[in-house]
């Protein structure tokens, strides 16, 4: 087996000028692949995600801890430390920024300026709505994109106001697209010798996640609505309540529906004209759900899961986070990593059966400022002077 073969970004320096979740999660992925990621933070409180809580672990917000492993922290005032950042950008392979619209240009940190100085630089911009269009100057966060991108309109219970998905899927999805784009740009640079600009936006990610709903509207004029845990085009494909909890059932075709009915001891349902094919089951979803619900509530979740597994019907328990964290499947996959007093998740990837562990814990604010400035050619006297002026904070 090759030793840590997927440290493919060893020798690649990434300048991380991002906050919150999308940008930091992107650069955490790059750090896991071996990049030297310099996280640039305001010298006062640092990345705002450090203060998002409770809960806090080791004094830091959990969102910060979940997205900043493997990095070095440089606490730098972007306005007064402009020359420092330019010098670092000249020595970097990648810069990832998520500054509010217009601020990069205002601060002289835009792609045109930095790539004129360093043509090999891969410049990645993560923002809300993209560089063009009537909303291009608007800031944005994950829940705003879930709203504007239609996700909230299809999430929740029928007849009730829509709800936000309970995880920051737009932020983390955008981060993943950005990391993929950066890897592709670095690969292309090996051939062309030049970097490029990578744009990844929260709005576009939200639209991508809504792709089949948009296709339904554009192709058939159908506007998707909330269906609770159900899927609008398949039935039964939703949660049911057992005597002691909920379970998700995904009977995605006629064969699986027949197997489900056998497991539930409801042999007549597959021959009922209302439920004979998936289109009929979708049309008569309410009646089918009532019949199945009456049966599921008669036994506990473990009983039904055992029967459904025996009948090869896809099903899963609805678990809370405590159940997820302690479940044997989670433990068997080896995703959890003890790291400097916290437990975090490694990237959900394996290569030749090997995980990508984070190399270091999320950094304390400014912990690496002195070392990073020294690497950039600053003397100790200059570093001390910058610290005295409040331009940098030393850890």
The dihedral through the CA atoms of 61, 63, 64, 65 has a sign that is positive
Q: Is residue 171 among the annotated active site residues?
A: yes
Looking at 36, 171, 271, 320, which residue is catalytic?
A: 171
Contact indicator for 176, 202 with CB cutoff of 8 Å: no
Residue by residue, what is the 3-state secondary structure of the chain? CCCCCCCCCCCCEEEEECCCCHHHHHHHHHHHCCCEEEEEECCCCCCHHHHCCCCEECCEEHHHHCCCCCEEEEEECCCCCHHHHHHHHHCCCEEEECCCCCHHHHCCCCHHHHHHHCCCCEEEEEECCCCCCCCCCCCCCHHHHHHHCCCHHHCCCCCCCCCCCCCCHHHHHHHHHHHHHHHHHHHHHHHHCCCCEEEEEHHHHHHHHCHHHHHHHHHHCCCCCCCCCCECCECCEEEEECCCCEEEEECCCHHHHHHHHHHCCCCCHHHCCCCCCHHHHHHCHHHHHHHHHHHHCCCCHHHHHHHHHHCCCCEEECCCHHHHHHCHHHHHHCCEEEECCEEEECCCCEECCEECCCCCCCCCCCCCHHHHHHHCCCCHHHHHHHHHCCCEECC
Annotated active-site positions, please?
A: 171
């Amino acid at each position: 087996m090759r030793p840590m073969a997927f440290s493919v970004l060893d020798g690649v320096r990434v300048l991380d000028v991002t906050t919150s979740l999308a940008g930091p999660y992107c650069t955490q992925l790059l750090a896991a692949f071996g990049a030297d990621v310099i996280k640039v933070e305001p010298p006062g409180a640092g990345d705002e995600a450090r203060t998002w809580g409770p809960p806090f672990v080791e004094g830091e917000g959990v969102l910060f801890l979940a997205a900043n492993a493997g990095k070095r922290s440089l606490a730098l005032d972007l306005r007064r430390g402009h020359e420092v950042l330019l010098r670092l950008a000249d020595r970097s392979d990648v810069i990832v920024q998520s500054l509010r619209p217009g601020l990069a240009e205002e601060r002289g940190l835009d792609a045109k300026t930095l790539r004129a100085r360093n043509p090999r630089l891969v410049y990645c911009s993560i923002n809300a709505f993209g560089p063009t269009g009537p909303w291009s100057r608007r800031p944005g966060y994950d829940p705003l994109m879930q709203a504007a991108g239609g996700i909230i309109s299809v999430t929740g219970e029928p007849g009730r106001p829509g709800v936000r998905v309970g995880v920051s899927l737009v932020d983390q999805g955008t981060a993943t697209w950005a990391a993929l784009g950066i890897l592709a740009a670095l690969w292309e640079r090996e051939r062309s010798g030049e970097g490029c600009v990578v744009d990844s936006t929260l709005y576009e990610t939200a639209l991508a996640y809504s792709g089949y709903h948009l296709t339904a509207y554009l192709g058939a004029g159908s506007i998707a609505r909330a269906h609770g845990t159900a899927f609008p085009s398949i039935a039964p494909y939703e949660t049911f309540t057992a005597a002691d909890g909920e379970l998700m059932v995904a009977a995605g075709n006629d064969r699986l529906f027949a197997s489900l009915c056998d497991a539930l001891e409801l042999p007549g349902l597959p021959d009922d004209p209302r439920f004979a094919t998936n289109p009929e089951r979708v049309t008569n979803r309410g009646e089918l759900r009532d019949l199945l619900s009456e049966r599921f509530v008669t036994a506990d979740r473990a009983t039904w899961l055992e029967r459904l597994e025996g009948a090869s019907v896809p099903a899963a328990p609805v678990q809370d986070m405590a159940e997820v964290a302690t479940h044997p499947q989670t433990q068997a996959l080896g995703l959890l990593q003890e790291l400097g007093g916290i437990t975090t998740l490694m990237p959900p990837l394996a290569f030749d059966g090997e995980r990508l562990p984070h190399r270091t814990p999320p950094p304390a604010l400014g912990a690496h400022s002195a070392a990073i400035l020294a690497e950039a050619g600053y003397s100790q006297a200059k570093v001390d002077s910058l610290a005295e002026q409040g331009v940098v904070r030393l850890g």
